[in-house]
Chain A
Amino acid sequence: MFAIPRVASDCGRGSEGANFRLQNESEFIPLNTPAPAVSIPNLFFVFFRVGLLSFGGGLSGWIFREVVTTRHWIDEEEFLSGLAVSQILPGTNVSNLAVFIGNKLNGPLGAIAALTGLIAGPFFAVIGVATVYGVIKALPLAEAGLDGVTAVALGLILIVVAKGARRAAQRIEAMIALAVTFIAVGLLHWSLLAVALVVGPISVAAAWLRVRADAR
């Protein structure tokens, strides 16, 4: 789902952190090691930077780089588990991830700090861009340029769809859930809320049956 930025030069620095470990040393994981408490301002500013510096999605990759690779605040497995829960739950994946990491590092206040840090910058940035566009909008070419941006943004979303569809193709019930959702919302224009609330639980139940069958 996301690209993990590799920063080779940072790898050696983790040895002093008790929580840092390499993936292949999993036999030696100290279970439930308390995460280091990271100060609220520190959390806020790290997520603030991620929010402002990331364009066109891929924010989880940036967060990985900041909190795992560079700062060793949490380890890789913990991060991936947080990413999975962020993707399952409703809400923007990356804001859920901020809540997960913030809570891990400094409880509820940490979650608030990480989340507000993440969206404070983009909040003003998007309004700034909209304001600038409002000024240049009178130019007919500006509109064409924006259509160009739209097309690329949709292409980026399509990539995510393609990856998911490839995974869904391995299981008939997942394929059906994908197709039914798309047809109901995209082609028949049924209410998205209703479709998600009906197809979602049915799809989870079908997956549950499969998981139980596989376990036998």
Chain B
Amino acid sequence: MHDDDFPLALLAVFVPFSLVSIGGGASVIAGIQHQVVDVRQWISAREFIELFAISRASPGPGSMLATVIGWHVWGWSGALLTTLGYFVPSSLLCYAVVRVWNRHRGKGWHTAMERGLAPVGNGLLLAGVLSILRLSGGGIVSWAMTLGVAGVLMLRPKLHPLLLFAMSAAVFIALRAFGTGLV
């Protein structure tokens, strides 16, 4: 727990990320991690990895990472604040844009925004993957599993993610249990 203007600090971290998460919530993972682990030092790198995995293994959008970070550092009020701080600004912006969007469907700037922002969102996503892989405890096995899962899903997109979660967790637990030293 912390005593330095906590609620405001939570909003100060999550509101800006709400407004630049181009291409979806996952694109700001690297930024959130940097802020809450390195800059504010609310949680350790290990705790961040754990909360990331928890948010991904739970139902709903991956952005519930913000919620669970708020909950972890400041209980229920923290969870509520980060959730509002993360979802409300982008939703208000979306609402404003949607009101004019349909009138301009098919216009040039439409296409330009779509084409221009997509690669930026993609670059951010890739940066997020890299930053978490670096921190993850699994080392080379984590890298192999991440690439392997991506490869398998390219070939068989219908595979249920929960099945992959369970299989991968089992593999990691087995490697740890038998003391292979790999994970």
Contacts and interface: CB of A to CB of B under 8 A. Distances in A.
B71 A130 contact: yes
Contacts of A181: 119-120, 122-124, 127
Given A155-B147, A181-B122, 20 more contacts: A82-B98, A88-B118, A96-B91, A123-B79, A125-B59, A127-B79, A143-B50, A144-B183, A148-B165, A148-B171, A149-B169, A154-B149, A162-B154, A165-B122, A174-B118, A192-B17, A192-B30, A196-B20, A206-B116, A212-B108
Interface string B55-83: 11111111110011001100000010001
A180 interface: yes
> Which of A119, A137, A146, A178 has the most C-beta atoms of chain B within 10 angstroms of its own C-beta?
A146
B140 to A, nearest CB: 11
B93 A90 contact: yes
B126 A161 contact: yes
B165 A152 contact: yes
Interface of B: 16-26, 28, 30-31, 34, 49-64, 67-68, 71-72, 79, 83, 87, 89-91, 93-95, 97-99, 101-102, 105, 108-109, 111-133, 136-138, 141-142, 145-150, 153-154, 157-158, 160-162, 164-165, 168-173, 175-177, 183
Contacts of B72: 130
Contacts of A192: 17, 20, 28, 30-31, 34, 124, 127
A43 to B, nearest CB: 15
A205 B21 CA distance: 19
A156 B20 contact: no
A84 B113 CA distance: 10
Interface string A25-65: 00000000000000000000000000111111111000000
A19 interface: no
- Mostly, the B contact residues are helix
Interface of A: 3, 51-59, 81-82, 84-96, 99-100, 103, 108, 111, 115, 118-119, 121-123, 125-130, 133, 137, 140-141, 143-162, 164-165, 167-168, 171, 174-175, 177-182, 185-187, 189, 191-193, 195-197, 199-200, 203-208, 210-212, 215
A144 B172 contact: yes
- Mostly, the A contact residues are helix
